[in-house]
Amino acid sequence: MKYLRYTMILMGILVFGCKPPEARKPVTQNSGSFINESIQRNKQLVAQEEAQILEIIERDSINDYITSENGFWYYYTKRSTDSLNTYTPKFGDVVEFDYSIKSLAGQDIYAEGELATKNYAIDKEELFGGLREGLKLMKEGEVVTFIFPSHKAFGYYGDKNKIGTNIPIIAKVTLHLITEETNKNNND
């Protein structure tokens, strides 16, 4: 009798314990409000930074600023007047340049000479977005001052050294040398 009882209990467990798994319902549902709030915060930040930059440009009666289609502003401190010097760097070219960085208030973050001369292969190495695009506008020997909003500079993370979160910057760049990529296609 005990044997029959244990068999019945075991059979009951097997029959009722072997049902298919049920999908669990989420405890909370995310409506995407965090992402929408983040988008709004970023739009406000960009608008504030652009207002600051445009105010700086308006007060500067000495320099002629150019608005880049890439979302930053710049002016030439030294422009190439050589009619033979028309080449601007393309993908894969290596450029040698120096740069310094200031805050929008004009305070040195990295003074001239503080950063080592850099060699950079255009679009093949890491460099912050604004400078990567700015170098493509320059010719050998030119000196250009760029004003980058934070999203074109070091963005949310900063440079993990002297530039903090969401800091717009002024970068003065001197392009010394452009070395064209040697294995370019001759059909260009």
Cross-strand bridge partners of residue 147: 73, 170
Q: How confident is the model at residue 3 (pLDDT cuts 50, 70, 90)?
A: confident
3-state secondary structure of 77: strand
Instruction: Note the pLDDT tens digit of each residue in 23-62.
Output: 777 666 566 678 888 889 999 999 999 999 999 999 999 9
Instruction: Note the pLDDT tens digit of each residue in 139-178.
Output: 999 999 999 999 999 998 989 899 999 999 999 999 999 9
26-35, 99-108, 129-138, range with the lowest pLDDT: 26-35
Q: Is the pLDDT of residue 179 over 90?
A: yes
Q: What's the per-residue H, E or C state across 128-173? A: CHHHHHHHCCCCCCCEEEEEECHHHCCCCCCCCCCCCCCCCEEEEE
* Predicted pLDDT of residue 39: 87
Q: Which domains does the chain have, with CATH numbers?
A: 65-179 (3.10.50.40)
Percent of the chain at pLDDT exceeding 90: 66
At 37, which helix (H) or strand (E)?
helix 33-59
* Predicted pLDDT of residue 182: 80
Contacts of 101 (CB under 8 A, 6+ apart): 108, 109, 110, 115, 163, 169, 170, 171
